[in-house]
Amino acid sequence: MFHQNLKTMNEEQLSKVKDNYAQLILDNMDYKDMERLLFDVVRSDMETANEEELRAEIVDFYGDDQWEQFTN
């Protein structure tokens, strides 16, 4: 059975397994898959932002002109 091979790991060991697994997933993705995954993560992070917060971030990183381009 699957669970018979489980052993108790400490946090550091479990973290290392998670890092290795994440790297394996990325290693098996092509550029388009990675691009889509990154887009989804970035877009999800914006989900709770209101207009004021979003505008402030865009202006801080890219300037007023970019905000104007997005909103006109």
Ramachandran area for residue 12 (φ above 0: left; ψ -120 to 50: alpha; else beta) = alpha
The model's pTM is 0.66
User: Is the model's pLDDT at 2 over the cut of 70?
Assistant: no
CA 64 to chain CA mean position, Å: 26
Mean pLDDT confidence for 43-67 = 96
Query: How does DSSP classify residue 64?
Result: H
What pLDDT is recorded for position 6? 73
Least-confidence region, from 1-10, 12-21, 22-31, 46-55: 1-10
What pLDDT is recorded for position 40? 97
